[in-house]
Structure 1
Amino acid sequence: MAAARIAAVFLAETRYHVPTDGVPAGNLVLLSGVDNSIVKTATIVDKRPPGDDDGEDAYIFRPLTHFTESVLKVAVEPINPSELPKMLDGIRKINKSYPLVTTKVEESGEHILLGTGELYMDCVLHDLRRLYADMEIRVSDPVTRFCETVVEMSATKCYAVTPNKKNTLTMVAEPLDDGIAHDIESGAVQIRDPVRKTAQFFVDKYGWDLLAARSIWAFGPEENGPNILQDDTLPSEVDKKLLNTVRESIKQGFSWATREGPLCEEPIRNTKFRIMDVRLDPEAIFRGGGQIIPTARRVCYSSFLMASPRLMEPVYSVSMTGPQDSVTSLYNILARRRGHVLSDGPIAGTPLYRVQGLIPVIDSFGFETDLRINTPGQAMVSLVFDRWSVVPGDPLDREVVIKPLQMASTQATARDFVLKTRRRKGLSEDVSVAKFLEPEFYQSLLESGTLGEP
């Protein structure tokens, strides 16, 4: 909550702002002087003078939610490096005025803008160049956000030892049931609710065991993140009192791991991490956050990589309306872009057809233009984010050969995406399980043949 003085009130009349001294309720107005403490949305209430208590409480609006997600990503940089502060100020203003834009700085130093689609990003970049920063900006080729997930349970229990060699964490990763991620993200179940209520939700809807449902520690990376951390240890084997002293540290490590996964530092999705065993030093000084947090992150990564990791990409839902002869063009264009049609049919009482389909966001650049050219402008198309879908192929398959300037084969798509994303982010060329496993554990897995790595 912040106090601010409204400097002026305006009525928005398209390109003109008409100043006024006040408006009655129910009108749309522009307020100046209050934007410093507002990022996307806020509720503005009157500040009452001291002693004026009419018994009415101030209520806030629920933060606005949207039916789509920002999945299209571009990196921006100023053509003249000395204008970087000016561009950053412009990006800050863009972040305030576009509700769905997300801005961030990646570890490689790139300034990233995330939007919902091509037209949306066109508007954002136009405003950044002309309205907010008034400068020339270089924009990268558009790419998309990815997510990482698993499709099987970890092949073995994975453990990690803290740097001081006094504590050990053991975990396994497994995929979540269909629908759980959506329920968490939509707020149907919340980690802040009482344990009993959250547990009952999982028991009733997904048939979970009551004990397992009550031992959910966290959703990650945020409170509405589509991953679950669950304590699967038994009181007979683990001192629960001791375990609860490091609970927050393990949760932070889990949150850090799910925010940037091991494949290409993209968020993890739809995965449940189960703590199977914990060995802790009785001395509190030896099990501080500095020891536990990075170890929890490492054990999340190793159990994740042992559970058949896969890459997920965003998919647009395509809705096209046009004459009958444009339907064939859509089929052909979608087939070329890894998309497919779900349904098509005539619209009753008109000569038009409606076609519904799906197309991966990364293959949708230029799709609309392509369709307009092929159907002399007769087809109307809209693209809306629909779901996350697993990319075909194993991202860790080293036998796949990626040839330059050629499209990857279907089963090599995931590997292609992972290598190119890692290259773009300036990470090491390949991801190896050995990096996260304890050396002696890795050796024993190699000898037993569990790992097929050379």
Structure 2
Amino acid sequence: MSNNDLLFDKELDKEYNNLDSGSDSSIGIKNFGQDDSELSEGELYKSSGDENDDDIEQDDKLLETIQLKLAQRKKISNGSSQVMFVDEFQSDSDIENEADIDDENMNDNKLKILKDQRSVKKNGKYYNKPPRFTFSSTKMNQKIEESPDNIKNIAIIGPFRSGKTSLVSNMIVKKHRKHFQRQKYDYLNLKKYMDNSLITKYRKTTSRLNMGRFLHNEDIVMNIIDTPGHSDFWNETQIALEMSDFAYIIIDCVEGVTDSVIKLYEVARLKMGLNVGFILNKIDRLVLELKLDEIHFFLKIQDIVNDINKLDYNEDSFSPEKGNILFSSSKYHFMFSIKQFLASVNESYRKNNEMLDYITKRSWGNVVFEDNKFEYCPNWNRLNKVPSFVTFIVEPLYEIFKNGLVLKTQDLKKWVELNFGYLLKSSSDDEEYTAQLIKLFESIFENDNKESTVSMINQCFVENTVNSIAQSPTSEQNFNLSCIEKKGLLHLSKLIRVFKVIEYNNQLWSLCKIYKGNISIGDALYFEGKKLLTVFEIAIMGGRFVKNIQKAFPNQIVLLRGINTVSPDDLVGVGTLYSKEDFELADKVAFPKIDFINEPVMKVVLQPKQLKHLTLLNKGLKLISKIYPDIKTSVDTSREYILYGCGELQIDTILFELRYFYICYFDRNITDFIEIKSTGNVITSFKEGCSGESFASIPVTSKNYSLSIVATKISDDLSEVICKNQFFPERLFREKKLVDLSAILRNDFKWESEAARNIIAISGTNFFINDILPDDLDTELFQELKPYLIKGFEKVVSEGPLAEEPLHNVIFKLMTLDKLDETSSTPLEVLPLSTKAFKIALLSAKPILLEPYYSFSIITKFDHERNVKSVLKRRRGSQIFNIKEISGSPLIQVTGIIPTIDSNGLSVDLQMVTQGSTICQFYSIHKRWYKVPGNVLDQEIQFSKLEPSEGDALSRDFLMKTRKRKGLESENENSLNDNGPSLKDYLDLELYLQLKELKMV
């Protein structure tokens, strides 16, 4: 390297240090490698194919582009003291047209993102491609092609702020060459390798899944899927679980088994049927933050393990010596099981596997080690004895922390070499203590074998995962090869499931998993049997990079882009892809729609400030619905767009992306981002139901047919088990397991035998039953009209008679069905007739309006308990179920429920009264819906024009405002008069007056 180059680099460093480095919204990686090996430009990289990882080629065109950017940056930096902003969404191909865009207009109207454009040279070459691995990519591709069993898809799930992304980032980086691994350690984890999207870096929290992969021991391909921890994005976590073979639940050692852990376990283990393991992360906090002594460290861990085993029906299913509970610190870059820890800290154990296994099995629980022998001692605490876990694990761990903090560098190097036989990585006395501890733990827990460069953190993770995967039962929810076998469709050539559209590498892809067959670029595939597309591009997620491939194989998780004759860039959303040859079998193997755990119950009304943006907003919402398949969008009569989300953070994230990124996807040359105005207050969706049984079976007749239906409420215990995903009647009915369904309803919920056997349709918590006596039923007529009755049931279940909101907890019973005219009848007229009958049945059964409730979990300090209670007390309908002290910590957990519409801003209020020391999570996974106070049909209620309604007027107020927003009110109907939905709208006037005279309506 010439002197001029060195001077240029120094000048570049000087300018770089003058920039405002506080922003972390760049996609690039700063200080993520050695000084001479950082990635240039800080942009996500898309490789061109299966190039050799050991080759670093210099691209002249790329070099010119980089130099152009550096020159531009230098010019702006020298010419003005202001921070330089660039368009985050600009591609390299846009640079040539950059001069045509007015700089002032660009900085004022485009999203201003500080972007790190630092480029570093090494031997005259720029690094702008994925880091080289410590394994052979050729060998990994060979293993993928050989057998799907060589691929292990592992989901990493856990509560908010439990350290999932940091842990996965460390694991993936360990499989990169030394030139890419950290030299300047990022103690604050601001530049996590798995944070590859703009919104994730902007919001400082993971909002979508990501995946990294590596080859272990030239044998197993590990795909590790990082997931969001915030409850608003748990549907994204569910998609990751759908694609996975095994799941690890990350637990913060200080917080322990929180309500979030319990709910995630229910989803992964009980609903998805996956085997799970646990990783107790942040064990450093017990030492450095809580400052527990060795005995209390063990008691804290033991308490967490006991709570974990309470989650499972089998006692002692999880235990550290079994390898399904691991220990880690994402901050200090280490992970270990009991066995791996013993092998790392004691050279004699490493050489004697028999002795290692012997001690491992005795290093947990109420076992003590005295006089060179192990002894079971349940009362060790009273007898002042020390558990073997403390002797063999905790005390050595504390010694490492203590000496890493107090010893000088030279003394620490001698101590490490003397006690562990390892060489301490380079360090200095003036180094920050966190960096020195990272190097200390890496020296002890990392294998420095230069030939294999096997990382201890990866070795521990893989070895304790593979056995659990082999024992994992087939998930009842997942559609896999066993389902194909049961249907006799093994001769299928290709079967691919599309889970969602995902933004990756500043491009939009279809996220897929291959279940059968291989796919290559150029293959013709049918999507949902409706349209034919050609595979245009295939890629693999790789942390901050995307790896293009030519061919993909079964059990791989891939990114696809297709083209068809209609659009040059066709985005395939949720659904199933088939081979052209299997088109006739498409309806037999379609993947079922994902039953998302979180309901989109919170909504916001959107409208562009400028009419010229109306088309852009419409396009953006269509794309958003593919990227977030769990949300809903609709348009009301006033041309306002309604966006339904799972929580405040998700809606905020969607609006951010809608305003900035996804509009640019359609037109990358626009200089004005769309301006959206939205409602200031949070709105929620509602559901309709009934609190009693229809007072009469009111017949509905047409010229040719007559039928009558009654409605009643299902039992609370049946509704609860369905909402908690403990019973799936709709799935059993769809799979035609009618005997099993009938037996459960009769035995567990005391249904009558005839009702349990004569179910016509099920939708969520709503049932439609044939209650006509066998002697009175015209079987031939019933079978002829049954499809139209079901369509009428589905229509009313999705749009009830009160405000066209979905129904909840209603059983409809068909009481009569007659044919009046044998000559001119047509079955099609039964559809509007049955729809009317269903609405009459609901309105005659004490109709109610139901509002959604969030379950909440608040973790805060014990000192703030009074303030938290005070804030919750001021919120309508909030209930505290439990206040639990988290053992061994100054924290408490407050759990309860609150109406969704009254949860708006609660997190902010709690942060204010607890000095920012609160983690508040809201869940809708149990699908709690409760009756809104008041009579929804009470026309005598008077509303105030300027004050919100309270008490018994609330139900009627919510109903009338919802009808008004949807444009359902009549000419004389508004929220201040007596009009509204009534049986009068569906009955003959004479019959209605008779019922009113009898005081039945």
**Normalising TM by the smaller chain, what interval?**
0.7 to 0.9
- Give, in whole Å, the separation in 1 of the partners of 2:995 and 2:606: 44
432-441 or 4-13, which deviates more: 4-13
1:363 Cα offset (Å):
0.8
1:99 aligns with 2:629: yes
- Give, in whole Å, the separation in 1 of the partners of 2:537 and 2:658: 25
1:293 aligns with 2:843: no
Deviation sequence 1:132-172 (CA, Å, 0-9, x none): 1242222234311111111111112222222x3x4222121
Give the alignment's Cα RMSD to 1 decimal. 2.8
374-383 or 189-198, which deviates more: 189-198
Q: Greater relative contact order: 1 or 2 (C-alpha under 8 angstroms, separation 6 or more)?
A: 1
1:404 Cα offset (Å):
2.5
1:61 Cα offset (Å):
6.8
- Give, in whole Å, the separation in 2 of the partners of 1:396 and 1:5: 55
Deviation sequence 1:247-298 (CA, Å, 0-9, x none): 2222212221121111111011110111112232242632431x22112111
Indicate how the Cα distance of structure 1 residues 235 and 59 shifts in structure 2: closer, same or farther if over 3 A, else same.
closer
- Give, in whole Å, the separation in 1 of the partners of 2:536 and 2:844: 59
1:194 Cα offset (Å):
4.9
> Contact 2:712/2:810 (CA < 8 Å) preserved in 1?
yes
TM-score, length-scaled by structure 2: 0.41
Indicate how the Cα distance of structure 1 residues 236 and 109 shifts in structure 2: closer, same or farther if over 3 A, else same.
farther
Indicate how the Cα distance of structure 1 residues 99 and 279 shifts in structure 2: closer, same or farther if over 3 A, else same.
closer
Deviation sequence 1:145-203 (CA, Å, 0-9, x none): 111111111112222222x3x42221211001224346667562232315444333322
Counterpart residue identity of residue 191, structure 1? F
Map of 1:39 onto structure 2: 573
TM-score, length-scaled by structure 1: 0.87
Extract unaligned runs of 5+ from structure 2: 1-525, 564-568, 583-587, 665-673, 974-979
> Contact 1:144/1:361 (CA < 8 Å) preserved in 2?
yes
Deviation sequence 1:65-101 (CA, Å, 0-9, x none): 4322111112222222233232222112211212322
> Contact 2:561/2:570 (CA < 8 Å) preserved in 1?
no
416-425 or 331-340, which deviates more: 331-340
Map of 2:998 onto structure 1: 448
Indicate how the Cα distance of structure 1 residues 108 and 259 shifts in structure 2: closer, same or farther if over 3 A, else same.
farther
- Flag the structure with larger Rg: 2
- Give, in whole Å, the separation in 2 of the partners of 1:20 and 1:41: 23
Indicate how the Cα distance of structure 1 residues 306 and 27 shifts in structure 2: closer, same or farther if over 3 A, else same.
closer
Counterpart residue identity of residue 205, structure 1? D
Indicate how the Cα distance of structure 1 residues 358 and 236 shifts in structure 2: closer, same or farther if over 3 A, else same.
same
6-15 or 349-358, which deviates more: 6-15
Q: Secondary structure at the match of 1:313?
A: strand
1:322 Cα offset (Å):
0.8
1:110 Cα offset (Å):
3.4
1:327 Cα offset (Å):
1.8
Pick aligned residue for 1:407 from 925, 932, 948:
948
Indicate how the Cα distance of structure 1 residues 239 and 46 shifts in structure 2: closer, same or farther if over 3 A, else same.
closer
Indicate how the Cα distance of structure 1 residues 81 and 283 shifts in structure 2: closer, same or farther if over 3 A, else same.
farther
> Contact 1:10/1:29 (CA < 8 Å) preserved in 2?
yes
Indicate how the Cα distance of structure 1 residues 369 and 155 shifts in structure 2: closer, same or farther if over 3 A, else same.
same
Indicate how the Cα distance of structure 1 residues 32 and 244 shifts in structure 2: closer, same or farther if over 3 A, else same.
closer
Pick aligned residue for 1:417 from 943, 954, 958:
958
- Give, in whole Å, the separation in 2 of the partners of 1:157 and 1:231: 14
Pick aligned residue for 1:151 from 675, 691, 699:
691
- Give, in whole Å, the separation in 2 of the partners of 1:24 and 1:256: 41
> Contact 1:71/1:116 (CA < 8 Å) preserved in 2?
yes
- Give, in whole Å, the separation in 1 of the partners of 2:818 and 2:990: 18
> Contact 1:168/1:278 (CA < 8 Å) preserved in 2?
yes
More helix by share: 2
**Identity level (%):** 30
Matches within 5 A, 1:305-454: 305-338=843-876, 339-385=878-924, 386=926, 387-428=928-969, 429=973, 430-451=980-1001
306-315 or 207-216, which deviates more: 207-216
Q: Secondary structure at the match of 1:170?
A: strand
Counterpart residue identity of residue 143, structure 1? I
- Give, in whole Å, the separation in 2 of the partners of 1:106 and 1:303: 27
72-81 or 340-349, which deviates more: 72-81
Indicate how the Cα distance of structure 1 residues 47 and 176 shifts in structure 2: closer, same or farther if over 3 A, else same.
same
> Contact 2:575/2:591 (CA < 8 Å) preserved in 1?
no
1:30 aligns with 2:559: yes
Map of 2:604 onto structure 1: 74
1:191 aligns with 2:727: no
Deviation sequence 1:400-427 (CA, Å, 0-9, x none): 2221332322222211111111111111
1:311 Cα offset (Å):
0.9
1:201 aligns with 2:744: yes
Indicate how the Cα distance of structure 1 residues 235 and 62 shifts in structure 2: closer, same or farther if over 3 A, else same.
closer
Matches within 5 A, 1:248-287: 248-283=787-822, 285-287=824-826
Indicate how the Cα distance of structure 1 residues 9 and 286 shifts in structure 2: closer, same or farther if over 3 A, else same.
closer
- Give, in whole Å, the separation in 2 of the partners of 1:393 and 1:248: 37
1:431 Cα offset (Å):
1.2
Map of 2:616 onto structure 1: 86
1:113 aligns with 2:643: yes
- Give, in whole Å, the separation in 2 of the partners of 1:37 and 1:282: 51
Counterpart residue identity of residue 733, structure 2? I
Indicate how the Cα distance of structure 1 residues 277 and 120 shifts in structure 2: closer, same or farther if over 3 A, else same.
same
Map of 2:51 onto structure 1: none
414-423 or 400-409, which deviates more: 400-409
> Contact 2:600/2:632 (CA < 8 Å) preserved in 1?
yes
Indicate how the Cα distance of structure 1 residues 345 and 195 shifts in structure 2: closer, same or farther if over 3 A, else same.
closer
> Contact 2:574/2:626 (CA < 8 Å) preserved in 1?
yes
> Contact 1:168/1:279 (CA < 8 Å) preserved in 2?
yes
> Contact 1:331/1:340 (CA < 8 Å) preserved in 2?
no
- Give, in whole Å, the separation in 1 of the partners of 2:738 and 2:939: 44
272-281 or 61-70, which deviates more: 61-70
Q: Secondary structure at the match of 2:824?
A: helix
Q: Secondary structure at the match of 1:154?
A: coil
- Give, in whole Å, the separation in 1 of the partners of 2:534 and 2:625: 22
Counterpart residue identity of residue 151, structure 1? S
Counterpart residue identity of residue 987, structure 2? L
126-135 or 6-15, which deviates more: 6-15
1:345 Cα offset (Å):
2.5
Deviation sequence 1:278-325 (CA, Å, 0-9, x none): 232242632431x22112111211121111111111111111111123
Map of 1:124 onto structure 2: 654
Deviation sequence 1:102-142 (CA, Å, 0-9, x none): 22334554322211100001111111111112422222343
1:329 Cα offset (Å):
2.1
The count of residues paired between Structure 1 and Structure 2 equals: 435
